[in-house]
Amino acid sequence: MQEKIKTLISNAKNALKSAANMSDLNSVKVAFLGKSGELTSVLRGMKDVPNDKKPLIGKLVNEARDAIQSFIQEKERILIAKETAEKLEKEKIDVTFKGTKKELGSLHPCTLVIEEILDIFTNLGFTVKHGPEVETDFYNFQALNIPKDHPAREMQDTFYITEDLLLRTHTSPVQVRTMQSVKPPIRVVNPGKVYRPDDDATHSPMFQQIEGLVVDEGITMCDLKGILEEFAKRLFNDPNAKTRLRPSFFPFTEPSVEVDVTCSMCHGKGCRLCKGTGWIEVLGAGIVNPKVLENSGIDPEKYSGFAFGLGIERIAMIKYGIPDMRMLFENDIRFLKQFK
């Protein structure tokens, strides 16, 4: 019996030696100390031990159980330490490792131009008003003194949705919507996307405009020129910038003008940008046609107004020296990065 107990202890030791993980350890525990384990079977043999030897053998069995339990505990400590070390190694994070730098984006040049222009006009006392991109024929054309089948419609090629619905070709319909909803004095700017079936180096099927409208008693061409000259000085950062008005035609303004500004690159001397003229064409404008005031519910006997409309992409091209409008829509990151 004593031999059996010795062998049991040494077997338990060997089994624990080869236990590589907690699951092996558990199997050893069950095999030696479990209900049908080896120690239990030794205990079962106690009935055959002579009575005088029973105290001694009993003591040896208890010692054997304590020894096996403490071997198991020791092994458990070793295995936990080993598994923790392995886990830490596997999930190691090097907090000193150099991170990857996230590049900051930048605003699109057109967005920069829109923000700058709106800033200038709001500082001059204008408010900002938006209108729908899908317009009715009435607001886009008829109310602006361009009846159906009028030849003036050819000035602005149009994407029609139905006979009466279209993608607005300019921001001028917002003039009418504003005059219908606000009583003079009116001083608004209307930014937004507009659409025309054009596509080349200086024309895009979708582009952006900003419309300006002032309506009050006694508004004249002098007010228009004064405001636009101040606008040009601020936009092109040139305190000496001048404007030049050339006669033009728009059905919704009378008289109508094209407005040129002294070239921002050569300051009027003549260069590549202004094709040697010293002037750059920036927008269309005029005195609001009395018919448009009437169509919008404003008394043309009492009130007069001026309006202007400019193309954002064109201004961005002038301001940043961009040779082809399509560059503004390609979203080439190398191009866009320059506007940080």
Q: Does 314 bind ligand FA5 (CB under 6 A)?
A: yes
Host H or E run for residue 253: strand 253-262
Count of residues that interact with ligand FA5, criterion CB under 6 A: 23
Closest approach, Cβ 281 to ligand FA5, in A, equals: 7
Which residue from 313, 316, 327, 328 is in contact with ligand FA5, where contact means CB under 6 A? 313
Which lies closer to ligand FA5 via its Cβ, residue 184 or residue 284? 284
Which lies closer to ligand FA5 via its Cβ, residue 211 or residue 260? 211
User: Tokens 């479990």 — which residue?
Assistant: 34
* Residue of 314, 68, 307 lying closest to 207 (CA atoms): 314
Which lies closer to ligand FA5 via its Cβ, residue 191 or residue 286? 286
Closest approach, Cβ 313 to ligand FA5, in A, equals: 5
Q: Does 267 bind ligand FA5 (CB under 6 A)?
A: no
What lies within 8 Å, CB to CB, of 57 at 6+ separation is 1, 2, 5, 46, 49
Which three-class secondary structure state does DSSP give residue 189? strand
Q: Does 264 bind ligand FA5 (CB under 6 A)?
A: no
Which residue from 140, 209, 264, 304 is in contact with ligand FA5, where contact means CB under 6 A? 209
Structure tokens at 221: 């061409």
Closest approach, Cβ 322 to ligand FA5, in A, equals: 12
Q: Does 223 bind ligand FA5 (CB under 6 A)?
A: no
Which span sits near ligand FA5 by CB under 6 A: 16-24, 64-72, 266-274, 306-314? 306-314
What lies within 8 Å, CB to CB, of 276 at 6+ separation is 270
Asked if residues 322 and 328 have their Cβ atoms less than 8 Å apart, the reply is yes
Which lies closer to ligand FA5 via its Cβ, residue 156 or residue 304? 156
Structure tokens at 197: 């079936």
Which span sits near ligand FA5 by CB under 6 A: 232-240, 263-271, 308-316, 332-340? 308-316
Backbone angles phi, psi at 313, to 5 degrees: -60, -40
Asked if residues 294 and 273 have their Cβ atoms less than 8 Å apart, the reply is no
Q: Does 192 bind ligand FA5 (CB under 6 A)?
A: no
Q: Which long-range contacts (CB under 8 A, 24 or more apart) does 141-149 make?
A: 142/295, 143/173, 143/176, 143/292, 143/295, 143/296, 144/172, 144/173, 144/175, 144/176, 144/251, 144/252, 144/292, 144/295, 145/251, 145/252, 145/289, 145/291, 145/292, 145/295, 146/251, 146/252
Measured CA distances, 236 to 120, 244, 316, 327 (Å): 11, 15, 11, 21
Q: Does 308 bind ligand FA5 (CB under 6 A)?
A: yes
Closest approach, Cβ 284 to ligand FA5, in A, equals: 3
Amino acid identity, residue 141? F
Which residue from 158, 172, 262, 295 is in contact with ligand FA5, where contact means CB under 6 A? 172
Asked if residues 122 and 329 have their Cβ atoms less than 8 Å apart, the reply is no
Which residue from 253, 289, 296, 304 is in contact with ligand FA5, where contact means CB under 6 A? 253
Instruction: Count how many Cα atoms sit within 13 Å of the Cα of residue 167 in the half-sphere of its side chain.
Output: 13
Q: Does 309 bind ligand FA5 (CB under 6 A)?
A: yes
Q: Does 210 bind ligand FA5 (CB under 6 A)?
A: no
Q: Does 131 bind ligand FA5 (CB under 6 A)?
A: no
Which residue from 29, 170, 187, 234 is in contact with ligand FA5, where contact means CB under 6 A? 170
Q: Could you list the residues that contact ligand FA5 (CB under 6 A)?
A: 156, 170, 172, 196, 198, 203-204, 207, 209, 211, 250, 253, 283-286, 307-311, 313-314
